Amino acid sequence: MANVGVLGAGSWGTALSLLLHDNGHQVTVWSISEEEVKMLSEKREYEAKLPGVKLPRELVFTSNLEEALTGRDFLVLAVPSPFTRETARKMSPYIKEGQIIVDVAKGIEETTLMTLSQQIEQEIPQADVAVLSGPSHAEEVGRGLPTTCVIGAKTEKTAKYLQSMFISRVFRVYISHDILGIELGGSLKNVIALAAGIADGMGYGDNTKAALITRGIAEIARLGVKMGGKIETFTGLSGIGDLIVTCASVHSRNRKAGYLMGQGKTMEEAMKEVNMVVEGVYSAKAAAKLAEKYQVSMPIVEQVNKVLFEGKNPAEAVDELMLREVKSEH
C-alpha cells in the first residue's frame, strides 16, 4: 500500500483518487478551495462533475497543502494546466529530493511554450517528474469503466513503479520514456477537438469528423517529431487514442465548447456554459507559436486560433481548409 497525495479535487483528480483508493492505497486529496473540501468531505459525491460516483469515507480531503504533501510515497498533480506552475511553486518547499510527482493535466504554457512537466521541473528541480495520459475521461474512470493510459518517466524504475500503483482490472497502464511526445499529444489534441466540436455544431457529419481526426493527428505528429517526440507515441494512446475520444465523446469539454461556438456562441460564452477549464483554448496560441517556431504546417490549428481570437466565422475557416493548395497526403 502506498501513501498518496493528490493535488486538485476536480473531476479528474477525484476520479484518480477513487481509482488509487480502490487499488488499496491511502489517499489524501488537496483542493485550494475550502468550500470544495467541505462539500466533498460531507456529501461524498461531486454532484456537479461526477454525479452518481460515491466517494468512500477513507478518502481524506484537505485544503492544507503541507498536510497533502508530507510523507507521501508519490504525488499526483491534477490541477488545471493554467494553474500548474503556480501550484508547483507553492509545493516546492515541502518536496524532498527524488519525490515522485506524476502530472495528469494537459497543456502548454503560452508565454514560455513549456510543457507541464517542464514547468514542474523548473519550479521543483528536486522532484522526479512523470506524466500520465491517454483516452481517459474522468466520468468513465470514476464509474470503473475499462480505460487504458500510458505513463511517461525518465527512468524505467519510476515508470514501472507508477504502473504498478495505477494498474487495475479496469485501468490498464503502459509505460514509455517519451515524456515530451506524450505531453504534446495530450495538449494539442484539445485544439483539434475544438475544431471537431465546431464542425458538429455547424451540422457537419461523420466524414468531417474523420477528416479532422486524421489530418489533426498528422499536424500533431509533424510538430511532435520535429520537437523530438517519437512517431510511435503519436500513433499510440496519448496521440491518436486521446484525439479520437476527445473529438467524439459527449464528456469532452473541448468538443462541447467547440460545438457551442459552431452554433454561434463566442469563445467566452462557450467557456462560461461548459463551466470547466477548456484546456484547448489555453493551448491553441501556444500550438500556433510552436508551429511557427519549428516551421511546421498546422492549418487546422491556425484556423482554430482565428475563430477563437480573431472572431473569424467558422464557415469561412472550413472553406479555407477545404480550398487550400492541393498536395499529396504524405
Catalytic residue list: 189
User: Is 3 flagged in the annotation as binding?
Assistant: no
User: Is 178 flagged in the annotation as binding?
Assistant: no
User: Is 8 flagged in the annotation as binding?
Assistant: yes
AA identity, residue 240 = I
Distance CA 171, CA 144 (A): 8
User: Is 199 flagged in the annotation as binding?
Assistant: no
User: Is 206 flagged in the annotation as binding?
Assistant: no
Q: Angle 279-293/299-309 helices, nearest 10 degrees? A: 130
Distance CA 183, CA 129 (A): 12
User: Is 292 flagged in the annotation as binding?
Assistant: no
User: Is 258 flagged in the annotation as binding?
Assistant: no
Do residues 172 and 232 lie in contact, with contact meaning Cβ atoms separated by under 8 Å?
no
User: Is 143 flagged in the annotation as binding?
Assistant: no
User: Is 259 flagged in the annotation as binding?
Assistant: no
Distance CA 97, CA 29 (A): 22
Complete DSSP assignment for 134-196: SS--HHHHHTT--EEEEEE-SSHHHHHHHHHHH-BTTEEEEEES-HHHHHHHHHHHHHHHHHH
Distance CA 298, CA 215 (A): 9
Closest CA to 278 of 67, 70, 106: 106
User: Is 134 flagged in the annotation as binding?
Assistant: yes
User: Is 305 flagged in the annotation as binding?
Assistant: no
Q: Is 199 helix (H, G, I), strand (E, B) or coil?
A: helix
- What angle (nearest 5°) sits at the alpha carbon of residue 323, between those of residues 320 and 329? 110
User: Is 123 flagged in the annotation as binding?
Assistant: no
User: Is 61 flagged in the annotation as binding?
Assistant: no
User: Is 288 flagged in the annotation as binding?
Assistant: no
* Backbone conformation region of residue 71, classed left if phi is above 0, alpha if psi is from -120 to 50, else beta: left
Do residues 196 and 255 lie in contact, with contact meaning Cβ atoms separated by under 8 Å?
yes
User: Is 10 flagged in the annotation as binding?
Assistant: yes
User: Is 205 flagged in the annotation as binding?
Assistant: no
Residues that constitute the known binding site for sn-glycerol 3-phosphate: 106, 134, 136, 189, 242, 252-254
Residues that constitute the known binding site for NADPH: 11-12, 46, 106, 138, 253, 277, 279
Residues that constitute the known binding site for NAD(+): 8-13, 83, 138, 253
Residues that constitute the known binding site: 8-13, 46, 83, 106, 134, 136, 138, 189, 242, 252-254, 277, 279
Residues that constitute the known binding site for substrate: 106, 253-254
